[in-house]
Copies of this chain bind each other. A is one copy, B any other.
């Protein structure tokens, strides 16, 4: 066993993103609200946990499991929901999702198996919980078909257990949060370099269960590609795949559990592929007046041999929001990194390619250390990226709709898809609120054959209707996605919120197959009921 978990004395927010002390205060919320016409004059108050009227748990565990389980109301409230806009709205209105009866924190695979055994015999729903950052309703319970709800918090399983330095891989427990994972790998000179926006508040197990998209904008970016093997505890037994660099022996066992969102089993650990820490870095921002030309430039980059680590295209609105441009230009944030050799020449070629499509060089920088910051447009974008979820919560307190969603589609669909989302979601928001809404787009990940657009929607709310306006706008967006055969999610997972879109997208024989697997591995139907399959 190597390393230890980084201690922290900060308190996680039960109702919103991240750390309690990082939320904008009332004055900041008011200032933000003033920028968005139609919002409230002053922020909604944050209810106390006592206001939620949390009752006694509907069920207790036998003494053999007692040391693993908490019935503390604050603990239970903090495990009731993820961190989507609609979760924050529900929390602020004092109407969170179903509060779990118990929170369990297993420390071994055997603990997980024992808890599943107990729950199976008692019709207790088990909702696996990593960092709690789901934005698709993936970690709450809806409905009333179960006698009680247990939130299975994996974060006590937070160690890097083995490191294979020569083979660049490590065996890591699923409950390890991003920063702790990197801290434990650092002494070995290795890194996973999986940096989703939720990095600080999400776990390896959560990434695996939701097929998270990470740091790299091109090439291998989904966590799927970094998995050597996985251990998954199911009610029907524990599945441990062999640690292999590649295999052609039947359908991949790991690929069945990747993206299974806790519905087929509880991922408890994995061997993952690592890399040397990059020693060479270079980045630049390239501005485009013409967004369609920028799209063509990005396609050309994705189809080249250049493999930028960062290749994020912000449209004019998104670039303005993050301070990367102020004249309506789209901005392409380019970054290269290598442990092997200087990358300045690759950056230069990439910038040259972008110039061929009308791009103009903005800020650029090269470092040969571990610095993740940057300067100018690049640095502005990075800071805004990490601060964004906190600002979102501030806007929600001002009654605004502030939410994001993402997708992926082939290049032939991308221009019309982005236009239609902007037009149709914008029109629906205007009609509902009487105020023009902001619908911005960025490309977070790009592929030779397509891209993953990420949309930000900022709109005045409809006072008093909770998340209903957003649900309406998302329904409009989902119709556009379906019309263009764009996936319901590129890396946010399906959860419960995306089920209707997912059910329409997935081929029916695959749904049959998934239901059959669910019945075989989870015969009592206790595992995260409602996600993926019924």
Report the stretch among A39-47, A140-148, A408-416 that lies at the interface: A408-416
Over the window 231-263 of chain A, the binary record of Cβ atoms lying under 8 Å from chain B Cβ atoms (1 yes, 0 no) is 010101111111111111111110111111100
- Chain B residues in 8 Å Cβ range of A168: 303, 448-449
Cβ < 8 Å to B, chain A residues 274-332: 275-276, 299, 303-306
Q: A237-B508, A521-B513 in contact; A487/B247 too (CB < 8 A)?
A: yes
Max chain B Cβ within 10 angstroms of own Cβ: one of A260, A410, A489, A491? A410
Q: Does A167 sit at the interface, judged by CB under 8 A?
A: yes
Report if A83 contacts B (CB, 8 A). Answer: no
Docked Cα-Cα span, A240 to B339, in Å, equals 41
Please tell me how many copies of the chain the complex holds: 2
How far is A303 from B245 in the complex, measured between Cα atoms in Å? 12
Q: Are A167 and B520 in contact (CB under 8 A)?
A: no
- Which residues 487-517 of A sit at the B interface, judged by CB distance below 8 A? 487-494, 498, 502, 505-510, 512-517
The answer to the question of A213 belonging to the interface, with a C-beta cut-off of 8 Å to chain B, is: yes
- Nearest CB to that of A252 among chain B residues? B255
Residues in chain B near residue A240, CB distance under 8 A:
507
Q: Complex Cα distance A252/B236, Å?
A: 22
Residue A527, interface by CB 8 Å: no
> Is there an interface contact between B506 and A253, defined as CB atoms closer than 8 Å?
yes
Q: With the chains together, A410 CA to B70 CA distance in Å?
A: 41
Known: A164-B410, A412-B167, A451-B245. A305 touches B340 (CB 8 A): yes
Bound-complex Cα distance A520 to B166 (A): 43
With the chains together, A506 CA to B176 CA distance in Å? Answer: 26
| Residue A433 interfacial (CB < 8 Å) | no
In contact, A250 and B244 (Cβ under 8 angstroms)? no
Q: Are the CB atoms of A248 and B490 closer together than 8 Å?
A: yes
Best-surrounded residue of A257, A338, A487, A510 (most CB of chain B within 10 A):
A510
Known: A253-B507, A517-B517. A248 touches B213 (CB 8 A): yes
**CA–CA, A159 to B202, complex, Å?**
46
Contact assessment for B505 and A249 in the assembled complex, using a CB-CB cutoff below 8 Å:
yes
Q: Which residues of the other chain, B, contact A124 by a CB distance below 8 angstroms?
A: none
The 5 A-B pairs with the shortest beta carbon distances in the complex, nearest first, are: A245-B450, A516-B520, A239-B507, A255-B255, A245-B447
A-B contact pairs, 17 of them (CB 8 A): A164-B411, A167-B411, A167-B450, A228-B449, A243-B485, A244-B409, A247-B487, A247-B490, A248-B489, A249-B493, A249-B502, A250-B494, A252-B255, A252-B259, A275-B448, A305-B338, A515-B520
Known: A167-B410, A246-B490. 16 other contacts (CB 8 A): A213-B246, A228-B410, A237-B512, A242-B505, A244-B408, A245-B410, A245-B449, A248-B487, A251-B256, A252-B258, A253-B510, A264-B513, A265-B509, A276-B303, A341-B349, A516-B520
A interface with B by C-beta (< 8 Å): 164, 166-169, 210-213, 221-222, 228, 232, 234, 236-253, 255-261, 264-265, 273, 275-276, 299, 303-306, 338-341, 349, 408-412, 445, 447-452, 485-494, 498, 502, 505-510, 512-517, 519-521, 532
